[in-house]
Amino acid sequence: MALSGFIRGNGEAIVSAFEAFARTLMPAGVNMVASELRDHAQEMLTALVADMERSQTVAEQAKKSMGQGAEHSLAASGHLHADARIRHGFTHAQLLAEFRALRASVLRLYEQTGDTDLGGVRRFNEAIDEALTESMTRYTAMTDLYRDQFVGILGHDLRNPLNSIAAGATLLTMTTETDPRSANVASRILRSAHRMGRLIDDLLDLTVTRLGGAIPLKRASFALEQLCHEVILEAQAAHPGASVKFRSSGDLVGEWDRDRLAQVLSNLLGNAIRYGDGTAVSLEAHGAPADVVITVHNCGVPIPPALQEAIFEPLVRNAASVSGETNGIGLGLFIARAIVASHEGDISVTSSESAGTTMSVRLPRVAALAPA
């Protein structure tokens, strides 16, 4: 008997074995009934048989074995099964174990018949691998989505109590002028509240980008030179004693989001000061006909080549900080890249022992026209 015919005729026995194994994986405190444990198993078996019996060329088989099949006939049942398991608290390891058990159950029961269908076994393994891939892809995508939504909601809901703390601290700094000790405490509370506010902003920006959105912009025409001077003053106030040299050339006027670019420059300049060797940091802005290029350069321990490739990913710099110092939650460069990308520009890094580290930002002067 062909394996596909065996699966069609013994679906109940296979699903029962699948249910028994799924029950051993059931998360603590979850009481799933038989129909939930069997969730979409029969649909997957039906889709498996249909895929096994579908005609397939050698070229199609080769593509499918590499995960490049065009049919994706098992996507629907695989996605539904992953969604159901997420709702009941199954981990990705438990979901993977279910598919291993389903494969083992089918092949063990078929082996007991004494029949041999090597071609059918190959097609079965291809089909169940596709179902597993579809389920794991869906599981990963949905858990990432839920996590990012949670972070976004948490960050948004933290704003109100944080604003109350900041307002109260501001009031205390105004009403405790005769008590320097209380005024100092109130100032520290206010600084901490502002820092927490920046962390929340970073989390919300991270959520927007991770959910597939672009950083929202409020474009207006202005010159970058004045913004650079303002950011330098803020950086020097945050890092007393830091030396920053600024040089500009060409036309620096363009249509950008002023506050967002200040966020980018502040992050790049702060990093250059923090990770530099104490010598002067340079900030340069050069205008070209179509765009403006901004560079921030510092000397010091170079960024390792392997780290340069991932420096704009979240949490990378803090995890690999050569000094062991952490500041924030490691989202600054990731968000800077997202802001630059929203401006249709690009950001890059070069770093070596001899030349130092340079962060370069290219910004088109105006937004590209949307296609008709």
* Residue given tokens 């966020």 in the structure block: 263
Amino acid at 306: A
Q: Please check whether residues 59 and 27 belong to one and the same domain.
A: yes
Q: Please check whether residues 250 and 150 belong to one and the same domain.
A: no
Q: What is the dihedral of CA 22, 133, 316, 267, to 10 degrees?
A: -110
- Does residue 360 form part of some domain? yes
Under DSSP, the state recorded for 311 is T
pLDDT tens-digit series, residues 300-353: 899 988 888 788 877 665 444 443 344 444 678 888 888 998 899 999 999 999
Q: What is the pLDDT of residue 125?
A: 86
Mean pLDDT of 227-241: 88
The Cα–Cα gap between 262 and 169 comes to 26
Give me the domain span that covers residue 298.
220-364
For residues 156 and 249, the model is more confident at 249
How distant, in Å, are the alpha carbons of 143, 155, 189, 238, 239 from that of 150? 10, 8, 27, 32, 34
Q: Is the pLDDT of residue 137 over 60?
A: yes
Domain end (from 181, 213, 245): 213
Q: Please check whether residues 30 and 45 belong to one and the same domain.
A: yes
Q: Please check whether residues 259 and 131 belong to one and the same domain.
A: no
Q: Please check whether residues 22 and 167 belong to one and the same domain.
A: yes
Contact of 299 with 313, CB cutoff 8 Å: no
Residue 222 half-sphere exposure toward CB, CA atoms < 13 A: 15
Amino acid at 76: A
Q: Please check whether residues 112 and 254 belong to one and the same domain.
A: no
Q: What is the pLDDT of residue 340?
A: 93
Structural domain count, the chain: 2
Instruction: Count the Cβ atoms, other than its own, within 10 Å of residue 172.
Output: 17
Which DSSP string corresponds to 251-294?
--EEEE-HHHHHHHHHHHHHHHHHHS-SSPEEEEEEE-SSEEEE
Q: Please check whether residues 227 and 334 belong to one and the same domain.
A: yes
Q: Please check whether residues 336 and 226 belong to one and the same domain.
A: yes
Which DSSP string corresponds to 28-89?
TT----HHHHTTTHHHHHHHHHHHHHS---HHHHHHHHTT--S--TTHHHHHHHHHHHHHTT
Report the CATH number that the domain containing residue 332 is assigned in CATH.
3.30.565.10
Domain end (from 187, 213, 239): 213
- Does residue 267 form part of some domain? yes
Which uninterrupted H or E stretch holds 350?
Answer: strand 346-352
Across the chain, mean pLDDT equals 80
- Does residue 162 form part of some domain? yes
pLDDT tens-digit series, residues 66-84: 555 555 667 777 787 787 7
Q: Is the pLDDT of residue 231 over 60?
A: yes
Q: In this predicted structure, which of 14-23, 152-161, 193-202, 217-226 has the lowest mean pLDDT?
A: 152-161
Closest CA to 261 of 292, 299, 298, 307: 292
Q: Please check whether residues 265 and 200 belong to one and the same domain.
A: no
Q: Please check whether residues 174 and 45 belong to one and the same domain.
A: yes
* Residue given tokens 């970058």 in the structure block: 224
- Does residue 371 form part of some domain? no
The pTM (predicted TM-score) of the whole model is: 0.55
Q: Please check whether residues 277 and 253 belong to one and the same domain.
A: yes
Q: Please check whether residues 169 and 226 belong to one and the same domain.
A: no
Report the CATH number that the domain containing residue 158 is assigned in CATH.
1.10.490.70
Helix (H, G, I), strand (E, B) or coil at 161: helix
The Cα–Cα gap between 358 and 296 comes to 6
Q: What angle do CA 118, 124, 129 make, to 5 degrees?
A: 130
Mean pLDDT of 86-107: 80
- Does residue 330 form part of some domain? yes
Which DSSP string corresponds to 327-345?
-TTS-HHHHHHHHHHHTT-
Q: What is the pLDDT of residue 256?
A: 95
The Cα–Cα gap between 191 and 185 comes to 10
For residues 245 and 181, the model is more confident at 245
- Does residue 372 form part of some domain? no
Mean pLDDT of 349-371: 86
Of the chain, the percentage scoring pLDDT greater than 70 comes to 79
pLDDT tens-digit series, residues 163-203: 778 788 777 777 656 677 777 777 778 777 777 777 777 77
